[in-house]
Structure 1
Amino acid sequence: MSRRPSTVLIVGATGSIGRYAVAAALQQGYTVRALVRDQARAAGILPEGVDLVIGELTRPETLGPAVEGVDAIVFTHGTTTSERDVRDNDYTGVANVLRALGPRQARIALMTAIGTTRPGVAYAQWKLRSERLIRASGNPYTIVRPGWFDYNQPDQRKIVMLQGDGRQSGSPADGVIARDQIARVLIDSLDIDAANHKTLELIADLGPEQDELTTVFAALTPDSGESLDAAEDLVDLPTESEPELFRDDLATITAGRLNAGD
């Protein structure tokens, strides 16, 4: 059994998923740190007991205090379906936090989206690149690709984890899931060995929510340490053809992993 993390950094803590993630982490007994841009605003949103650290994902020089001393990081941030916004915030935020973390190890939970591997969808490819950086970092991780937020019916609470990213209609037909359940899966994954090195699409089915998720995680195929992509994905994005930004970030993060003796 791996050591349970103690201090969790929530990235995107004041967002619609992040708030639930903060609550779930506190309920599970973690020391919770939130990366925020506006301390006064965050204090009015987040519960007492959360350590508010000022920083911006797009300004790497501000992220050192946020990652100092944490042993888990949960990424819940997200923007629009604009390629530029996803590249400059969703992707770059992950890259900058990993750079700030350097060779130190932290248990990571990353939220992206169902349909991330859709061919030719520019904004989705940047989410996919953020996943690739996490896999290359050498950290233990779980990558969660949720379906459409809060389209589920009241009796549609059974948590289902899929792989292969085969649902790519770009509509709620791909699957639906409640926001609080997304947060629960992200936080639960930090302390479940069977969740490590797993990438999954997260949806809900008719039925009650499970009390425990170890067996659900255990049924998934782990990612290969020899690939930047998820275990059952079909992806045609050769690294040598990727944008220079990604290749530079990948080289830096991989070098940090090697320097750590991985």
Structure 2
Amino acid sequence: MTNLDVLLVGGAGSIGSYVARVATDAGHSIRILSRGTGKSVVTGDLTDPESLADAVRDINAVVFTHGAHGSAQDIREVDYGGVRNVLEAIGDRPVRIALMTAIGVTYREGSYNRSTRAHDWKRRSERLVRASGHPYTIVRPAWFDYNDYDQHHLQFLQGDTRHAGSPADGAIARSQIADVLVAALTSDAAIGKTFELVAERGEAQSDLAPLFAALASDAGLDGALDADNMPLDDEPADVRADLDRIRALHA
């Protein structure tokens, strides 16, 4: 297995701490993007592109587990703008990407998205990653740690059809989200794939390659089988400009 130099965006969060542990155990080198200081920390601010040069220097992988929990503007600047800014800081260097968003991210009519547009901005961040030209995997986990003690058998779903906006959409352990994100970094079968991640009753699989291989590959800006309910022509002009700029880095 290839050992990678990984930038972890969101390392202080509840998923990021698991990712750091799993990646380190797998032999990868981890640097955690943070405004503060500490072990394995590199200083930078997701909302300040000029602060990210040191964070991305000499990396060959990025795992995004970040997310804002404030206003709609915070979500736009962090969940979406953070991905854009890191991609621009990387430029045209080949870097493997694993991006975590959320189950139900394509459902636009729920009350949460109507009030914050959080799903829309996360979905736009997915589109940036797909447009970037980097090898990537996008993971949309279900509800964190709502799984029962015997509910660890992983299922990778596509089409984003679960829209309850509650644990009825599915559950997954935080530790297993980290396992999947880290495994995706070195799996050829995971490249260019987007999927929802849930756990059903049964034991966890030790080999994720068959699960990755069974997925349909993305085509275009959206995930395979996603609803066509966010036309690019209807997107804000600055969002379309961001996509063009990210594409141009690998033109």
After superposition, residues 76-87 of structure 1 pair within 5 angstroms as 76-80=65-69, 82-87=71-76
- Name the SS for the 1:257 alignment partner: coil
- Choose the corresponding residue for 2:131, options 126, 133, 136: 136
Q: Which runs of 5+ in 2 are unaligned?
A: none
Structure 2 residue 77 is the aligned partner of structure 1 residue 88: yes
Report what 1:127 is aligned to. Answer: 122
Give the percent of matched residue pairs that are identical in Structure 1 and Structure 2.
51
**If the length of structure 1 is used for normalisation, what is the TM-score?**
0.90
Runs of 4+ in 1 over 3 A off after TM superposition: none
**If the length of structure 2 is used for normalisation, what is the TM-score?**
0.94
- Choose the corresponding residue for 1:162, options 157, 161, 167: 157
After superposition, residues 73-222 of structure 1 pair within 5 angstroms as 73-80=62-69, 82-120=71-109, 121=113, 122-222=117-217
Report what 1:8 is aligned to. Answer: 6
- Distance of aligned partners of 1:63 and 1:238 in 2 relative to their CA distance in 1, 3 Å threshold: same
Contact 2:3 2:27 survives alignment (8 Å): no
Total equivalences in the alignment: 245
Contact 2:3 2:29 survives alignment (8 Å): no
- Choose the corresponding residue for 1:35, options 33, 36, 48: 33
Contact 1:4 1:190 survives alignment (8 Å): no
Report what 1:236 is aligned to. Answer: 229
Contact 1:12 1:35 survives alignment (8 Å): yes
Q: CA deviation at 1:78?
A: 1.0
Q: CA deviation at 1:82?
A: 4.4
